[in-house]
Chains A and B, each alone.
Chain A
Amino acid sequence: MSSGCDIIVLRVDLSQRCTSVERLPLQDAVRFLGGRGLASRILFSETGRGSDPLGDEAVLVFAPGHLTGTCAPTAGRTTVVGKSPATGLFMKSSMGGHWGAGLKFAGYDILVVRGTASRPTYLLITDTVVQFGDASHYWGLDVRETSRRMAKELAMPDVDVACIGPSGENNVKLAGIMCTYYHAAARGGLGAALGAKNLKAIAVRGHTPMRLADPARFWDVSEQVRRRIVATGRCKFYGKYGTAGVVVGTNEMEALPVQNFRRGYMENAYSISGQCLTEKGYLVRRESCFACPIACKRYSAAREKHPGSEAGGPEYETVAAFGAGCLLEDMDDNLRANELCNILGLDSISTASVIQWAFESAERGVVPEYVDDGRGGRIRLAWGDADAVLALIEMIAYRRGFGDVLADGVRAAAQKVGGDSWRWAVEAKGLEQSRVETRMAKAYALAFATNPRGPDHLYGQPMAEFGFSPEARDLVRRLTGDAKYADPVITDHKPKLVAWHEECFAMTDSLGLCSRATLSTYAITPAMMAEMLSAATGLEVTEDEMHQAARRVINLERAFNAREGAGRKDDRLPWRLMHEELPNSRGIKAVNSEEELGTMLDEYYDIRGWDRDKGIPKASTLVSLGLGDVASALRTATAAREPSQAGKP
């Protein structure tokens, strides 16, 4: 283990109840950047086309970053990679907290989980044992209770637990994996994949030191990075107000998705903002993930309603989804919704999204106004009704009553209910869109459309297009030649911006850094990442080589989807965003369209070396990246899918 020697992969087979350890050469950390890149490589090689994300053959890879466990500022993150039960496509989902460092200190860089346990099981991974434990008495417990009891029963107060809540156990496709109590690898239903494996929790703890090739050089570059973070205004902003601090500015830009993306502005956005949280006494503490000097995490408590409700968070996405999306304007209601999602293990973005869809469906008469709550009662589907929202969250987690209709995600819900309801199902590729308005931000529109996980901000986050800070404007100037392209409503040069951001994101995840530091604020640059990776491994890596390695990772992930048959036809945005204009006071025609997206896609595919018509990597591109085996796998998959094409006249 450790950043300066071989990469140690722990493999766990739940069906066979056995483990094995594999060593990968350190060069692989440079070729694939470490954590996420290697995890994607493993996923591609070790699953076949059409595999069942909830089946025995499903593989889940837990990959802390290559620098996780060191003092590299923000490097505490872990990416979980697998096939998404929600989309049936590639998924990577990232969590903060302290779990990743725990796995590293136990002596492992990457954990690969396969097979299905015959009964509820937990794993305990330390530097002396990998133990399969009976989790029958944890099954059914929420995330907080599970984490608390495991620490107690294992008599390890410092153990770090990643687990699923009841939603994951019930194969709810909105279920995430939670760690260190409140940190979520939320997106894409990977919690359901863990639940299908009967794996309730993975506890980690250890005392294996992280050794680096050149500690003195590493310390120097970390210091430089730390000083840059401390001096960056946007980092201070996130430290003060958390990610929810962004609500106010987004609302002022009329880009806050209100009421299922029907509007971009709400009157009282302050009441659900990070500023309100901090200034009105809801904030109990600021918290950091491992090694993070920004401390954007919160721990908050309700003040008037919901006595005793307290939890980690809320984040921007959560208050935007429940507060602006479902129209819950009372902070206390948002805090309770946040707490419920945390402890039940639900992705708050997707959960609030299906609830908004249900409210709109009732409003438009596609579903009844009153629905069965699964306990002999009824709840009323009405915008802004906090009781309904809170009840629905639990109904979804336990698949109770009408909750079962929503528990497979909004695309499936619209199919079950029928009518026109697919038009206000704000999803693409089967994933609910995160709370970002793409109709007035064209780089975001492209990034959301090309994202292999579906429409959200955590694959390429081209914030620079807003030119909100000196760092952002500098970047746009460097990439396009002129800072005037830092303008969200134009499409010029946006494919270039998106490609850079996707690459920066692949480096960020793979090293274990936080996108808050590399992308939302541009405090950590790819050059700094190259320097940290070089000092850690003793292998000299340049910024250009980092980008090249990132392209390797992005191509692999794209190839995973291509093997499943996905391509250009799937690089779309939700119907509403493509067809309904966003009202705004500036008189801008704010909508995404086929034409606009088509032009950007052509240019983007050209930059990536992908086929324009199919939107998949060309064999020559894969070969030039040293991914010849991936090219052959794709060729075989395409031939298998279109057997009759060859014989047709």
Chain B
Amino acid sequence: MGHALVTDPARCTGCLQCELACSLKHEGVFAPWLARVVVHREPETCRAFPNVCRHCDDPPCVRACPVGALKPSPATGAVYVDVVECIGCRECLEACPNGSISFDPDKGVALKCDLCNGEPACAKVCPSEAITMERCG
């Protein structure tokens, strides 16, 4: 289906609107550490790097999951975590070459971008176009 999020760290201002939007949408609370997009900030130099799933072709995370908890969504093709099946083994965190999967220690499940059913909240709220949605094909 060819949806992907593209990041441009040079534009990111570290406002964390993306993390706030993602955590509200998926967890119903403001908790940036539960967001599927992670912004690494270096406040001393005011640099910030957004990191979000690239939605690889032939995703290593899917291959790594021992229980098949990572599944392509029928709507967008984006791989999401089926939290009922996820056993919290963190194999996918290891497998992802971009470090784009995080973990919710309270629920014991992987946190991964599901592209918000094709309407990515993070790209919508990012004021700097540091995260944008690309549609190809």
Give me the interface of A with B, judged by CB distance under 8 Å: 69-71, 73, 97-98, 105, 144, 147-148, 158, 160, 180-182, 207, 209-212, 215, 219, 226, 229-230, 239, 284-295, 297, 299, 310, 312
Which of chain A's residues have a CB closer than 8 A to the CB of B44? 144, 147-148, 181
Q: B30 near A210 (CB under 8 angstroms)?
A: yes
Q: B24 near A215 (CB under 8 angstroms)?
A: yes
Q: How far is the CB of B127 from chain A (nearest CB, A)?
A: 4
Give me the interface of B with A, judged by CB distance under 8 Å: 13-17, 20-21, 23-24, 27-31, 33-34, 41, 43-48, 125, 127-128
Q: How far is the CB of A154 from chain B (nearest CB, A)?
A: 15
Q: B125 near A287 (CB under 8 angstroms)?
A: no
Q: How far is the CB of B17 from chain A (nearest CB, A)?
A: 6
Closest A residue to B28 by beta carbon equals A215
Which of chain A's residues have a CB closer than 8 A to the CB of B27? 209
Q: A-B contact count, CB below 8 Å? A: 89
Closest A residue to B47 by beta carbon equals A285
Which of chain B's residues have a CB closer than 8 A to the CB of A182? 46
Among A73, A211, A287, the residue within 8 A (CB) of B13 is A287
Which of chain A's residues have a CB closer than 8 A to the CB of B28? 215
The 7 A-B pairs of least Cβ separation, nearest first, read A288-B15, A293-B127, A299-B46, A209-B29, A209-B31, A71-B20, A288-B13
**Given contacts A209-B27, A295-B128, A70 and B20 within 8 Å (CB-CB):** yes
Which of chain B's residues have a CB closer than 8 A to the CB of A73? 17
Among B17, B33, B45, B47, the residue within 8 A (CB) of A291 is B17
Q: B31 near A291 (CB under 8 angstroms)?
A: no
Q: B46 near A71 (CB under 8 angstroms)?
A: no
Q: How far is the CA of A285 from the CA of B45 in the complex (A)?
A: 9
Q: A286 near B13 (CB under 8 angstroms)?
A: yes
Q: How far is the CA of A105 from the CA of B30 in the complex (A)?
A: 9
Among B17, B29, B41, B125, the residue within 8 A (CB) of A211 is B29
A to B CB contacts below 8 Å, 7 in the list? A230-B127, A286-B128, A287-B14, A287-B48, A291-B16, A295-B15, A295-B127
Which of chain B's residues have a CB closer than 8 A to the CB of A212? 29-30
Q: How far is the CA of A211 from the CA of B13 in the complex (A)?
A: 25
Q: B21 near A71 (CB under 8 angstroms)?
A: yes
Among A210, A285, A295, A297, the residue within 8 A (CB) of B31 is A210
Q: How far is the CB of B20 from chain A (nearest CB, A)?
A: 4
Q: B15 near A292 (CB under 8 angstroms)?
A: yes
Which of chain B's residues have a CB closer than 8 A to the CB of A158? 41
Q: How far is the CA of A288 from the CA of B125 in the complex (A)?
A: 14
Q: B15 near A289 (CB under 8 angstroms)?
A: yes
Q: How far is the CA of A292 from the CA of B33 in the complex (A)?
A: 18
